[in-house]
A = this chain, B = another copy of it.
Amino acid sequence: MPNEAASFQSQISNPQSNLHYAIIVAGGSGTRMQAAVPKQFLLLNGLPVLIHTLQAFYNSRPQPNLILVLPQDYHTYWMHLSADHQFRLPYQLVNGGSTRYQSVKNALELVPADALVAVHDAVRPLISTDIIEEAYKQADLQGAVVVAVKSRDSIRQVKDGRTQSLLRDEIYLVQTPQTFRAALLKEAYHHPYHPGFTDDASVAEQAGHAIHVVEGSYQNFKITFPEDIAIAELLLK
């Protein structure tokens, strides 16, 4: 016990890393939006969603190194789009894989083991710098954290064709960023792919790590449906 307390204390006073990375994952082909253009490229207040997202991380105090994961088919499109919008932030571009798991795994190869790394959905442009900073801080202290909110609705789980209610207070809706000591996440991504890997926290959990929660915001929602762009514009006001 005294050892644990001492170790915790030293983590607080001596953060393990000042090296920060953010992996921005831009996946989907946009079929749910009924739009020809994938969601991350749609204009939000005149600027592509993806640029809002990259800018949010760049504006956070740690000013992380940015890695953008994008399906190869969209690289040329993005090059033109970012030039049109005079996007000039430094970042590294990585090819997306056939799954989100493979995309993040590709990006992690560029992240040093002694860094802190945040993985974030490109289509969550309304992430606040405060939450980004808190997520890095808690990842440094605790190893593996997800930004999450409590559900406003009751929750039911389908089991064997019936539904059963779950205790709402025990349930978190998990957003991104999901933030980790990079060594931990890189090691976890060496485990083979598993269909239960819906996000990075589930990969880290499968490797035996406890996942902690940082309070998120309902505003940090995923642009999914056509009306979401108008909602995001309203929330930006």
Contact A170:B152 (CB < 8 A) given known A165-B198, A227-B235:
no
Residue pair B173, A166 in contact (C-beta under 8 Å): no
Contacts of A225 in B (CB 8 A): 218
Question: Is A154 in contact with chain B by the CB < 8 A criterion?
Answer: yes
**A163 interface neighbour in B154, B212, B221, Cβ under 8 Å:** B212
Q: Roughly how many angstroms separate A164 CA and B148 CA in the complex, as a whole number?
A: 13
The 3 closest A-B pairs by CB, nearest first: A154-B174, A153-B173, A165-B202
> A154: nearest residue on chain B (CB-CB)?
B174
Q: Could you tell me if B211 and A156 are in contact, using CB atoms closer than 8 angstroms? A: yes
Residues of B within 8 A of A158 (CB): 170-172, 213
Q: A154-B173, A155-B173 are in contact. List 19 more A-B contacts (CB 8 A).
A: A146-B156, A148-B153, A148-B156, A152-B224, A153-B173, A153-B174, A154-B199, A155-B155, A155-B171, A155-B174, A158-B170, A158-B213, A163-B211, A163-B212, A164-B205, A165-B211, A219-B227, A231-B234, A231-B235
CA distance A165 to B201 in the complex (A): 8
A70 to B: closest C-beta gap in Å: 21
- In angstroms, Cα B162 to Cα A219, docked, is 25
- If over half of A's interface residues share one DSSP class (helix, strand or loop), that class is named, otherwise mixed; here it is mixed
Is the C-beta of A157 less than 8 angstroms from some C-beta in chain B? yes
Q: How far is the CA of A90 from the CA of B221 in the complex (A)?
A: 39
Each complex incorporates copies of this chain amounting to: 2
User: Is A175's beta carbon under 8 Å from chain B?
Assistant: yes
Total count of chain A residues near the partner, CB < 8 A: 45
The reply to whether A165 and B205 contact each other, CB–CB distance below 8 Å, is yes
A residues neighboring B (CB under 8 Å):
146, 148, 151-159, 162-168, 170-175, 196, 198-199, 201-202, 205, 210-213, 218-219, 221-222, 224-225, 227, 230-231, 234-235
Closest to A227 in B: B235
Q: Which residue of B154, B157, B171 is within 8 Å of A201 (Cβ)?
A: B154
- When C-beta atoms are compared, the residue in chain B nearest to A149 turns out to be B153
For A219, what are the chain B residues with a Cβ–Cβ distance below 8 Å?
227
The residue on B at minimum CB distance from A225 is B218
| Contact A230–B222 (Cβ < 8 Å) | no
